[in-house]
Structure 1
């Protein structure tokens, strides 16, 4: 089996970089990156600056920067691994179709583009990344969205493992929790091997996720099943998914695991010294930051006239050097509570983090997003959207062994 990859929603190439760091022969045959509403596709251009463009089966390179919804999935080159960090959206099914596939998702929901790609190309293995709240959304029908994803994968002949991974517990510099989904076709040798494993064995010791991200302890396993009718799942399914689990033949098993911690990279280790003056905070701006980061109790009135007190606790100010960084958002470096404020190791003045430090928090090479003239604000935005690259390398180590056995 060839180590061929298709990368959807590629951003600036975190999946590809994570696999290529293994130097084990992974070849990305096609990728897709398109940011809605942007005149300049900075992330796509950064990706191409690092890796070059990819041709579809018609010999065209222009499709990699198009809306994936407009791409004919049959023109995507064959691949054995499909990867992508897709947005967390409302995955409910819009309506049934007369076609054999039976459903069509709401327009613009990108999960359906993954499903269409799997239908057209039938990758043997998949790794997808999403926010941790995917397992609990939407609030009014907890677990429905992830249930739809599992039902789709089951329909297409895949078994699935998932884990919510806190990157800081596995040697990264950021406390970033993300849901990783590993799916494999029931026609693979790997699937044949896993058929003899119990759900407990797969989740705790023998599965793909357990080997990539070792488990310290296992809670009680609960189970359910996903219906073959995906429309029914959309309308009725509700379940409390935990941070680890497994699905085979529509039977779902989940439990809360405790992660086996590795030494994290502390925030102080990624900081630069004596940075450019425009990153520093002073005067009225510093006062605004102090207010935003502090505790608050603010009287407010709701739309129906109800009066209440809005309260929020303090955020560490500045961010401590002796812990991994907090989760970075696309709004990083703008005036809000979630942006990091640090003490510069050289000047000891308070400042924002630099784009290079943002890249280090995500495990990218320094100045990764500087190629192609990307504006500084977009560099932060792209890092806020990115995944933690070393987590992909950890999973790639396991994939190397699986592909070798195939």
Structure 2
């Protein structure tokens, strides 16, 4: 009877370890074949008693990090394709602690490091980062670029890690780097962000491969939703958000309640010209003339540029096209801010009244339009700032996503800690 109980305890240990490590890593650690691990799990072969100590050691290596996390945050996360830290900002606001960052662009790194000073360096090219060197974490965040996927020649799904498995289908795309890190580190949750058109990209093949990789190969319980940032900021900005849980969790992003769209107007983010504009130490007078209570003249379009944009819009209207500038006032909602905004600002032009050319948004207004707080530092040139905010995310949208998944995440963390304590207790009793 004691032997049966002890064997059951080992299997419980093994099942716990499979949630923390890949089968390949477990097999390497225990110096057995992967097929042996599977036979232990299905009960066809019983593991030797000494295996229990090795499994406990594998679990214990995770515990110090967990204890440290409890002191510094409710949960830990890593920030991949971090940009200037918009998704990170939302998850920190929900009580998370970032333990690893990867971003390749040196100018984005400059903005990121100014706003998130840390002893941990920002890792560059994610394709050169070894997944084993990434700290353990509860949540993986990634706003990965959208690239085409080739699925030619893939006729049968294979298991993870084999030459013709998901690696073969996604090789050469940056999504593969997200997938390999998920496969290796097995975070409790991942949150991925991309443009709305990811769903239709490459005639739907891109999303098909992503979804199959996440749900079938990596076996995460997933949900996705296209969400408009207009619920939080005065900007029409639709993005697809994909969330996956490592365990079977009953959830749907469709159940996430969103604030009404369109209630927040541009007046909330524009510089105040009535003497109430806050003087930000990090901005100084880069964007605003405090003596005369007005936005600096350099943001007003020149006569030549304004004439060109009007002529361009008229030309396309005559052809039946909808191309043209987006002229708005403080009571409006803006179009989507893009990374090309630095070129002419045409998608969002602020009206300055009759007889005066419209103006661009200032970088500080762009930061506000994306939901960044005013203490966010903008250490780069206007051109770089426009690109960075145009490529960023709506911060309060991801704060809302973080708050939506947090109760489920904390339950997963509590269950894992409880299971670890139970396994230790059972092992002591069995011995």
* TM-score, L = length of structure 1: 0.70
Residues 1:385 and 2:391 aligned together: yes
Distance in structure 2 (CA, Å) of the matches to 1:33 and 1:95 = 32
Residues 1:136 and 2:144 aligned together: no
Residues 1:210 and 2:267 aligned together: no
Counterpart pick for 2:222 among 141, 160, 171: 160
Distance in structure 2 (CA, Å) of the matches to 1:133 and 1:320 = 28
When the two chains are superposed, the root-mean-square deviation of aligned CA atoms in Å is 2.7
* 1:308-360 deviation digits (Å, cap 9, x = unpaired): xx65225465224322211011011312643x111248996511110011111
Residues 1:337 and 1:345: Cα distance change in structure 2 (over 3 Å): closer
Counterpart pick for 1:43 among 101, 108, 119: 108
Q: Which runs of 5+ in 2 are unaligned?
A: 1-65, 67-73, 155-160, 274-293, 413-431
Counterpart pick for 1:329 among 331, 338, 341: 338
Task: Verify the 8 A CA contact 2:326 2:335 in the aligned structure 1.
Answer: no
Quote the residue 1:341 is aligned against.
349
Residues 1:165 and 1:108: Cα distance change in structure 2 (over 3 Å): same
Residues 1:271 and 1:81: Cα distance change in structure 2 (over 3 Å): same
Distance in structure 1 (CA, Å) of the matches to 2:326 and 2:342 = 14
Shift of 1:44: 1.1
Residues 1:261 and 2:236 aligned together: no
Task: Verify the 8 A CA contact 1:333 1:353 in the aligned structure 2.
Answer: no
Distance in structure 1 (CA, Å) of the matches to 2:162 and 2:360 = 54
Residues 1:314 and 1:15: Cα distance change in structure 2 (over 3 Å): closer
Q: Which runs of 5+ in 1 are unaligned?
A: 36-40, 56-60, 195-206, 215-259, 299-309
Task: Verify the 8 A CA contact 1:7 1:82 in the aligned structure 2.
Answer: yes
Residues 1:270 and 2:331 aligned together: no
Residues 1:69 and 1:90: Cα distance change in structure 2 (over 3 Å): same
Residues 1:82 and 1:213: Cα distance change in structure 2 (over 3 Å): same
Quote the residue 2:13 is aligned against.
none
Counterpart pick for 1:354 among 354, 362, 366: 362
Residues 1:132 and 1:102: Cα distance change in structure 2 (over 3 Å): closer
SS of the residue aligned with 1:163?
strand
Task: Verify the 8 A CA contact 1:211 1:398 in the aligned structure 2.
Answer: no
Task: Verify the 8 A CA contact 1:173 1:361 in the aligned structure 2.
Answer: yes
Distance in structure 2 (CA, Å) of the matches to 1:346 and 1:71 = 55
Residues 1:109 and 2:153 aligned together: no
Distance in structure 2 (CA, Å) of the matches to 1:276 and 1:336 = 15
The count of corresponding residues between Structure 1 and Structure 2 is 312
Distance in structure 2 (CA, Å) of the matches to 1:53 and 1:105 = 36
Q: Give the helix-richer structure, 1 or 2.
A: 2
Quote the residue 1:313 is aligned against.
322
The structure number with the bigger radius of gyration is 2
Counterpart pick for 1:127 among 187, 191, 195: 191
Counterpart pick for 1:76 among 127, 130, 134: 134
**Any residues of structure 2 matched to 1:195-274 within 5 Å, and which?**
207-214=251-258, 261-262=260-261, 264-272=263-271, 273=273, 274=294
Shift of 1:400: 2.2
Shift of 1:85: 0.8
User: For structure 1, which segment, 107-116 or 317-326, has the greater mean C-alpha deviation from structure 2 after superposition?
Assistant: 317-326
* TM-score, L = length of structure 2: 0.66
Distance in structure 1 (CA, Å) of the matches to 2:233 and 2:338 = 16
Task: Verify the 8 A CA contact 1:162 1:209 in the aligned structure 2.
Answer: yes
Counterpart pick for 1:404 among 405, 410, 413: 410
Residues 1:349 and 1:268: Cα distance change in structure 2 (over 3 Å): farther
SS of the residue aligned with 2:98?
strand
Shift of 1:126: 0.8
Shift of 1:177: 0.5
Distance in structure 2 (CA, Å) of the matches to 1:347 and 1:297 = 23
Residues 1:280 and 1:120: Cα distance change in structure 2 (over 3 Å): same
Task: Verify the 8 A CA contact 2:169 2:209 in the aligned structure 1.
Answer: no
Distance in structure 2 (CA, Å) of the matches to 1:347 and 1:124 = 57
Residues 1:208 and 1:291: Cα distance change in structure 2 (over 3 Å): same
Counterpart pick for 2:211 among 150, 159, 168: 150
Task: Verify the 8 A CA contact 2:309 2:324 in the aligned structure 1.
Answer: no
SS of the residue aligned with 1:294?
helix
